[in-house]
Every structure is written in structure tokens, then in C-alpha cells.
Amino acid sequence: MTVHDMKHAASDSARLEAVGGRLSRVDGPAKITGAAHYAVEQQLEGLTHAVLVGATIAAGKVSGIDTRAAETAPGVLAVLTPDTIMPLNGASDWFGNPSPQPTFLPLVREVTFSGQHVAAVVAETFEQAVAAAALVKVWYDEMPAIVDLSDGKAGDGIPIDAMTKEWGDAQAAFAAAPVRICAAYNTPREFQAAMEPHGLIARWEGDELTVWEPSQWLDGMARTYAEWFSVPFENVRLVSPYIGGGFGSKALALAHSAVAAAAARMLGRPVKLVLNRPQNFTSYGGRAATRQTVAIGADRDGKIQSIVHRGVNETAVDGMWVEPLGSVTSIMYATPNFSSKQNVVRVNTVVPGAKRAPGENPSAFGIECAIDELAHELGIDPLEMRLINYAEQDPHAKKAWSTRQLREAFAAGAEAFGWAKRSPQPRAMRDGHQLIGWGVAAGTYPVRRAHGEAVVRIMADGSVVVESSSIDMGQGTYTILAQTAAETLGVPVERVSVKLGDSHFARAGVTGGSRLAGVMTGAVYKAAGQALDELIGLALSDTRSPFQKLQANTLQVRDGRIASPRGEGPEITIAELMSAVGRDHIEAKGDTLPASTTPEERYKNYTTIAMSIPHTEGEYSRHSWCAHFVEVRVDEDFGTVRVSRVVSALDSGRLYNPKLAESQWKGGIIMGIGQALLEEGVVDRRHGRIVNGNFADYMLPTNADIPDIQTISVGIPDPHSSALGGKGVGELAIVGIAPAIANAVFHATGKRVRDLPITLEKLI
Amino acid sequence: MNDQVTISPTTLSLHLTINGRDHALEIEPRVTLLDALRDRLHLTGTKKGCDQGQCGACTVHVDGERVLACLTLAAQVEGRTITTIEGLADEGGTLNAVQAAFLEQDAFQCGYCTPGQIMSAVACIREGHAGSDEEIREYMAGNLCRCGAYPNIVAAVRQAAQELRS
């Protein structure tokens, strides 16, 4: 009946507002004028302020807390300790597995990492709470801590059998290979370091809890709060209209969230708690430190015969995080023999977490440096080396790629970069006292798929409202969903308002793993299609409609006007039709779940990650791909490294909005430059503290560190990856940047640094 | 953790001139300009990223110069002219050239560092430090952006500087 065939969309992408158009951010005007109110900026009557006190040891027991001075300080309403905070129920994990502990105390007596919350002060003003928190005295029985992976007490760790991937006889084939390389690659503890700190405002009204909190997963976090406080899921409302960056860190309700919500419940007043910047380095996990060894055996013509890979990542004493280190190793190159195994090692840290491309990022650092080492060993150009070993299908899953434009990425990137002019020998290119190096590396990220739900409402005035509990932390969700609804319904994009970030809207799963755009454009496309069907159905059949006498099979909507496709009969606006048929709105809720899905499965789908669809489901293996070409300039005397040029060619499938996708790609590349050259959580060996937990000492790239970056889209629509043909964007581009830089540094200097970040002392 | 610390409940009566409007405040002397703006005056466009003078998210103008509101006590700026992101567009709502260029060049993603970037950029141009991309990068280096909008920020500042010169 309807005409919303998306096949025409790709050719229509010159139109700004269509899917694929370079529309500027629809949430942009609010963000550039200060009108965008982030979660903790809500102004509430009777708001109180909480400040946390963190442990100054990494392992041991709290032997005493003296709260008397804090309690009598001006403005103080409560000082909470493990003895006085209300106990909560243990909540299930993000897979939906029940907590092993029946109760959960968000303030601890047993300390397992430095900075762990041991007390909290609530006061009338922020300044009063900060001052009183400094008056809380804590005594400890300190125990020896395992400070990091290199600690003598750390041991070899726990094998994670689920990470083992093997085919052929990798050890024997490696031993028999005529050319062999083997090296160890390390990445340090890194932090997401979003500019907006973590924090929340919690308010109870009876048994109903409202939480304003930056969130990558409203429904998942609402579930956690509901379980902690034993209230129905529907009683918890998460509000997160804008998120000041997440990068994986803002998907879970954390201990500090529980402290604020418990304090609000105990006091009967709303509580605001925002982690200060140093607490943002200890209250939730960054990327786990990793160690890998990669051994590659090859023929003399460069053909890989075997890859043997071993990996280790750190995890917490009382929590498990596996950073899948074999994820890129096992799919990037064709090899008849392969073995990858991984251990995790418990150290005294907060549980590590997801940071942009968890797994793929450090995995690519290992294999993409190793292939470069092999190329050098054989005297083969590193780009040619990658083409010699190009994987024509998924070597692990043994399935066809849905789409893999990696060859095209290598070609387009090399051409734009001028790779053919590269002198093969290290130290062969220089500009005065600067050694110049060119490096290449590939990256990939799987297409993680899930289901989402959206409401599309056509209003009496012809405007359109889209609602979803998904979120926009800068990826452009507001914008691409407006484009999707506008194109599907045939209305101007400025008539569409998108509302996100409220868990009482239609449901959505986690925003992570670069899955949201594919999931939500699919859901909005479906809901908008249903709304359009209803609109056209009314126009054709309602006795009050001017089209009713037309006896047409269908109608089309363009620029908000309804007409017969053949141009017969009237042409009226949506508002005129709504008025004629006496409707104040048309609403459709669309989701991408199968119709047979039960309510329990729906709940599980949105509040856990247990129902994510494997990227190798069915006939295909689905991934985004990229090739990075990097130029570095290394000061020969001082060993300082500057990235002077980046050209990246990327295959994210069809881009819903290239302007915003390019920005995300550049953002990933820049975070990768930070990883390669600057970022490292430094742990004090005596007390296991992060000593550089602030923005002056944990160095993020600044504007002055970043050169021009050229991105080239080589993707084609991938119908196996999403409803509208896109693959993941946000995480892809960071994967492969650090090895491309390390390879360029080797080319510049002849020195192979396998231990990130590449700082000057490692080069001189 | 010092028993000897005493906390004075004393408050000050202050008058601040922000975006051309007078605001009366009764606050403790230790309240920063940043917290006065955000918590007392509900001008939340100015962001708190680090509260330690390390990120630039709280950049505002005091007498036309860029200042970190987190390292400035509210009491220090009485009688001076304060401009925040909310006061940058003109009264009719017409965007400042820098704001418009940020939107056009997609010079932000999450938007959290953006008010500080824009306030810095306006001052950077006014200071005469937007003559080349190299210079813009250097003089905008005090404003961190974790989304990595830097190349687009440079493009926006370059565009706005050209528009303001012509």
C-alpha cells in the first residue's frame, strides 16, 4: 500500500534531510548556546549534595571511621558509612545472571582497590559536603596489594577457556615455518576520560525513583536500580537527555550511583552526587592493561602458515572483565593453522570496563604490529604483506563476509596518502633533524546487532514526534532518527522532533558496541512505516477524506503533502487530512523483534545483553573494516613523536549521515593517537594508587597534538548487517591506529616499540 | 583530615553582572564562579569537567578575557563584566559567528566541552591568535575534547575568523 521503499534512498542522499544526507546535528543549536541540559543539571526543589570518601589503601580492612567532626560541620545532613548506609539487594549482571551475593553495600569495609568508596557526606550545599568529607577520619588494616600485571604476586592468572580459538596444528606449523617472528606487545591501563564526569541526581517519591544520570543504557540501569531497592522496574525512571561522552563507561549503574540513590531514600530528599575528576579514575573501570605474544610463521614469499597468540588482561580481585585479545588476531589474515588462548589476572583495581572497541583495540595492536615485523623480516612492503594474506572469508567462523571493503580501503588510503613513494628502509626519510616514518595498519569491528523499539507519532499539525529510550552521547542519534522518520514519512526534517533519553519512552538496549544506529534506524523505519500506512489508509478509506472518492490504491506523501502518485485529485497537507478525518494524532510503536517474542523476552532483550545477535549468525560474518596510513615525525635527538598526517579509508557500510560519521571516525583516530603516544594510568607500587588520575597528568591529546585527518568512506550498503545497510561506525576507527603509529615510528627510527604509549624515553 | 579546620558559615552578599544582567547572591566566600553559575544561578551552559583548571570546559569571559570559572571565586568577579555561553548570541537569538561555524563544521559531538571551546574560540580570534591553523591549534590547546572534534574545531575557528575579518 505504501511507498516508503528505502531502496531509492542511497541515490537520494544529496538531499540533506534524507538518510545519507549531510544534515548538521539537530541537537546542535541547543549544545552551542548552552541550552542543552545534561542529566545532573536538573534544578530540583530541596536538592542536597553528596561527596564520597575513597579508600587510601588498595587492599585491607576499614578498622574504624570517625564521623563526629563531619557530622557537626555546618550544613551536614548525614554521614554514611558501611555501618549506617541502608543495605541493598544484590543486582543481576548485564547478562541477567543473578548476583552471587544476596546483599550489596555500596560503601565497603573490605577494600579491594584504592579509591573504593568507604563513606559519604550529604549536606545542604556542595561546598559544605566537600569540606565535611575532608573531616571524615578512616583507619585501615592494610594488606599487601597486587598493584598491576607486573607485580611479582600477580601470577599467571586464570585461563578463560571460552576465549580459546584453534584450528590446524599451530605449534607444529610455526616450528616448521621457514620464517618466524615472535614478540610481546603490551598496552597499559587506559581511561575513557569523558569530559562530563559520572554522577547523578536521585529522587524518591514514595516507592518511585527518578534518576537523572548520564547513561548509555537507560533500561539496563533502571533494572539495576529496581533490583537494588526491590521495587518494580516500572517504578524506576532514568532520564539522560544528553550525555557528555561515554566511550563505554556509562552503561552501568555503579557503586556511587547506589550511594546517591540510597542516601536519597534515607533522607527523603533528592541527592546529587558527582564524582570529582580523580574519582573518575577509580570509581569505574577503564581499559584493562594487556599483554600479548604473537608468533607468526610464514613461507619466504610471505604467506602465513601459522599464528600462535597468547594474551593476558588484568581484572579485579572481586570482579571479572575479559578483554577479548584474540578477536582481531583470529580474523584479519588467512592462515591454515591458528591458536589463541587467554588468561586473566586478578589485581587490586576497580573492575576494568569497556573502552572504545574493547578487545579489538588491543588485539589489533598485537597482530598489526606483528604482521609489520614479518614484512620487514621478509623485505616485503607492509601493505603488500597484508594483501598477500588477505582473508577471502572469515578464517575462524569459515563463513563468507557479508561485505568486506578492506582491499578497497587499502587501495583508496594508499592512493590518497601517496604510499607508493615510501622508501622501504627504516631511517630513509628525513626532514632536517626529524626522522619521517610511514606506517600502515588495518582495523575491524564486528557488527553487533540487537533489537529496539520506537514510537512515531504524527500530530494534528502535521509535525512528527519520535520517542525512544535510546540515547545520544555525540554519535548523532537525534539527527539520524529525524532523518529516518522524515524520509520514511515524506515530511521535512524540521517537522520531526526526536525525544530520547527517558526510560519511560519506547525501549532500547545498550548503546555500545557500535550497534545503536543500525538498531534504531531499523526501529524508527518500521514504526514510521506503520504510521504512514495508517495515515494513507485513513486518507483512502475515511468517508471524510477528500481522497476517499478517488478509488486509488495508494497515495504518496512528499514534503508533508499527500497526493495521488498519478497527480489526480486533491493535494493536501497532513494537517489538513488530520483535521478532515478528525484525528489529533496517529501513533505507531515499531520494534524489530519477531512477533512471537514474549513479554519476558522483551524485558530481557532491553535490560540485558543476553539477546544480542551474534555477528556470525546464519550464513555471514559481519564486520566493519578500515585501513590507516600514518606519517610520524620523530625528533632524532629527543625522541619526541608527532603524528603529522593521517589518511584512513573505512568501510562502515552505508552511512546514515556522512558528516556525523566522519566526525566519529576522526574522534576514534584521535583517541587512538592518545593511546599510541600519551595515555597510561600510572600505578604507585606502594599503595596501588593511580597517581596520574587527573587531566594534567593523564595526558589526553590536545588540539595541538592533532594534525589534519583525512577519512575516506569505502563502504557499500550491507543488507545482512542492518535494516538500512549500515555497519558500525563509532568504535571502528580507533582499531589499528596505535599499531599504524608504532609501525611508522619503526619506519622512522628503526626502533620497534611494543609497549604503549610510545614515549620519548623508549626511543632514546 | 585536620581536626583544626573550622568551617565558617559566613556568607557574602554579591552582585554579579552576567550576560548584561545583574544577579544578587548570598553565598559563602569559597563558592567558585563555576558553582555560582551552575548551582545558584542555573546558568548550566558553563560546564564542569575537572574542577581543577585542567580541561577548559568552564571557560567564560571576564571583562572580555577568557577565564577558568572553576579557578575563580565568585567573590573575585564582582563589578566585572561576565559573559557565558548563554550570553553569546545577540538578544534576537542570532548566533555568534563562532557558534554558527561550530554547527556548520560539526565541531562537537557530545557537546560537553563545546561551551568552553566556543568561549575560548571567541577570545582566541579577538586576541589575534587565529591567523593560521597552526596558531589556532596552539591557542585552543587549553580546551580538551575527548570526542576528538579538534580538526573540525580548527575549521570552525578558521571560518569564523575569516567571517569576522571580512
Q: Mind spelling out the 3-state secondary structure of A463-507? A: CEEEECCCCCCCCCHHHHHHHHHHHHHCCCHHHEEEECCECCCCC
Q: Mind spelling out the 3-state secondary structure of A500-554? A: CCECCCCCECCCCCCCHHHHHHHHHHHHHHHHHHHHHHHHHHCCCCCCHHHCCCC
Q: Do B146 and A193 touch (CB under 8 A)?
A: yes
At residue A558, the 3 state secondary structure works out as strand
Query: CA nearest B7: which of A66, A132, A122?
Result: A132
Percent of chain A with pLDDT over 90: 95
Report the pLDDT value the prediction gives residue A16, as an integer from 0 to 100: 77
Report the pLDDT value the prediction gives residue B1, as an integer from 0 to 100: 43
Long-range contacts of the stretch A538-546 (C-beta < 8 A, 24+): A538/A577, A538/A581, A538/A583, A538/A586, A539/A577, A539/A581, A542/A580, A542/A581, A544/A580, A544/A581, A544/A582, A545/A577, A545/A580, A545/A581, A546/A570, A546/A572, A546/A577, A546/A580
The ranges of chain A annotated as CATH 3.30.365.10 are: 6-35+449-607, 390-447+616-762
Domain positions in chain B are 12-87, 97-165
Report the pLDDT value the prediction gives residue B108, as an integer from 0 to 100: 98
Q: Which of A219-233, A251-265, A335-349, A537-551 has the lowest mean pLDDT?
A: A537-551
Report the pLDDT value the prediction gives residue B2, as an integer from 0 to 100: 46
A50 DSSP β-pair partners: A122, A273
Tell me the residues of chain B between 60 and 79 that have a Cβ less than 8 Å away from chain A. Answer: none
Nearest to A706 among B48, B52, B151 (CB): B151
**A730, A473 contact by CB (below 8 A):** no
Nearest to A667 among B49, B144, B148 (CB): B148
A8 pLDDT more than 50? no
B110 to chain A: closest CA residue: A474
User: In chain A, what is the straight-line distance between the N-terminal and C-terminal CA atoms, in Å?
Assistant: 71
Reported CATH class of domain A6-35+449-607: alpha beta
CA distances from A724 to A35, A443, A454, A493, A591 (A): 32, 23, 16, 18, 15
Q: Do B103 and A25 touch (CB under 8 A)?
A: yes
Q: Do B146 and A695 touch (CB under 8 A)?
A: no
Q: Which pLDDT tens digit goes with each residue over B112-130?
A: 999 999 999 999 999 999 9
Report the pLDDT value the prediction gives residue A14, as an integer from 0 to 100: 53
Report the pLDDT value the prediction gives residue A567, as an integer from 0 to 100: 82
Nearest to A28 among B57, B103, B136 (CB): B103
Q: Which of A202-206, A227-231, A601-605, B146-150 has the lowest mean pLDDT?
A: A601-605
Instruction: Quote ipTM for the complex.
Output: 0.96
> Which of B147, B152, B153, B157 is the best residue to mutate to test the A interface, defined by the most A CB atoms within 10 Å of its own CB?
B147
Report the pLDDT value the prediction gives residue B5, as an integer from 0 to 100: 52
Question: What whole-number distance in Å separates Cα of residue A336 and Cα of residue A662?
Answer: 36
A210 pLDDT more than 70? yes
B28 touches chain A (CB under 8 A): yes
Q: Do B103 and A193 touch (CB under 8 A)?
A: no
Q: Do B147 and A704 touch (CB under 8 A)?
A: no
Q: What is the pLDDT along chain B (166 residues), one digit of tens a residue?
A: 444 555 555 899 999 999 999 999 999 999 999 999 999 999 999 999 999 999 999 999 999 999 999 999 999 999 999 999 999 999 888 999 999 999 999 999 999 999 999 999 999 999 999 999 999 999 999 999 999 999 999 999 999 999 998 7
> Which of A31, A250, A477, A710 is the best residue to mutate to test the B interface, defined by the most B CB atoms within 10 Å of its own CB?
A31
Residue A462, all three cell numbers: 502535521
B29 touches chain A (CB under 8 A): no
Report the pLDDT value the prediction gives residue B121, as an integer from 0 to 100: 98
Please report which confidence band the pLDDT of residue A551 belongs to, taking 50, 70 and 90 as the band edges: confident
Q: Which CATH number fits domain B97-165: 1.10.150.120, 3.20.20.450, 1.10.3720.10, 1.10.540.10?
A: 1.10.150.120
**Mean pLDDT confidence for A121-132:** 98
Cell 537525534, residue? A478
Q: Would you call A601 a catalytic residue per the annotation?
A: no
Question: What whole-number distance in Å separates Cα of residue A301 and Cα of residue A178?
Answer: 10
**A-chain residues near B149 (CB < 8 A):** 663, 666-667
Tell me the residues of chain B between 86 and 125 that have a Cβ less than 8 Å away from chain A. Answer: 86, 88-89, 95, 99, 102-104, 106, 108-115, 118
Domain B12-87 annotated CATH 3.40.440.10: no
Domain topology for A390-447+616-762: Aldehyde Oxidoreductase; domain 4 (3.30.365)
Q: Which pLDDT tens digit goes with each residue over A431-471?
A: 999 999 999 999 999 999 999 999 999 999 999 999 999 99
Which residue type does A1 have?
M
Report the pLDDT value the prediction gives residue A549, as an integer from 0 to 100: 85
Q: What is the per-residue burial (b if ≥16 Cβ within 10 Å, else e) of A54-83?
A: bbbbbbbebeebbbebbeebbbbbbbbbbe
DSSP A612-635: PBPTT-TTEE-EEEEEEEEEEEEE
Element (H, E) at A754: none
Q: Which pLDDT tens digit goes with each residue over A479-488?
A: 999 999 999 9
Nearest to B140 among A134, A695, A703 (CB): A703
Average pLDDT, rounded, for chain A: 95
Report the pLDDT value the prediction gives residue A193, as an integer from 0 to 100: 98
Q: Do B54 and A277 touch (CB under 8 A)?
A: yes
Q: Mind spelling out the 3-state secondary structure of B76-115? A: HHCCCEEECHHHCCCCCCCCCHHHHHHHHCCCCCCCCCHH
Q: Mind spelling out the 3-state secondary structure of chain B? A: CCCCCCCCCCCEEEEEEECCEEEEEEECCCCEHHHHHHHHCCCCCCCCCCCCCCCCCCEEEECCEEEEHHHCEHHHHCCCEEECHHHCCCCCCCCCHHHHHHHHCCCCCCCCCHHHHHHHHHHHHHCCCCCCHHHHHHHCCCCCCCCCCHHHHHHHHHHHHHHHHC
Burial of A395 (0-12, 13-18, 19+ CB in 10 A): buried
Distance from CA of B79 to the nearest CA of A (A): 23
Residue B32, all three cell numbers: 567558585
**Mean pLDDT confidence for A170-186:** 98
A12 pLDDT more than 80? no
A693 to chain B: closest CA residue: B50
Question: Which residues make Cβ contacts (< 8 Å) with residue A8, sequence separation at least 6?
Answer: none
Question: Which residues make Cβ contacts (< 8 Å) with residue B142, sequence separation at least 6?
Answer: A702, B56, B59, B120
Q: Which pLDDT tens digit goes with each residue over A704-745?
A: 999 999 999 999 999 999 999 999 999 999 999 999 999 999
- Strand-by-strand arrangement of the A137-142 sheet: A110-111, A60-66, A137-142
A644 pLDDT more than 50? yes
Reported CATH class of domain A39-145+202-281: alpha beta
Report the pLDDT value the prediction gives residue B165, as an integer from 0 to 100: 86
Question: What whole-number distance in Å separates Cα of residue A354 and Cα of residue A357?
Answer: 8
**B-chain residues near A35 (CB < 8 A):** 45, 86
Residue B16, all three cell numbers: 554579579
Q: Do B55 and A695 touch (CB under 8 A)?
A: yes
Report the pLDDT value the prediction gives residue A7, as an integer from 0 to 100: 37
pTM of the full predicted structure?
0.96
Q: Which pLDDT tens digit goes with each residue over A487-542?
A: 999 999 999 999 999 999 999 999 999 899 999 999 999 999 999 999 999 999 99
Query: CA nearest A458: which of A576, A611, A607?
Result: A576
A595 pLDDT more than 70? yes
Q: Which pLDDT tens digit goes with each residue over A17-26?
A: 789 999 999 9
CA angle A697, A695, A35 (to 5 degrees): 175
Report the pLDDT value the prediction gives residue A2, as an integer from 0 to 100: 30
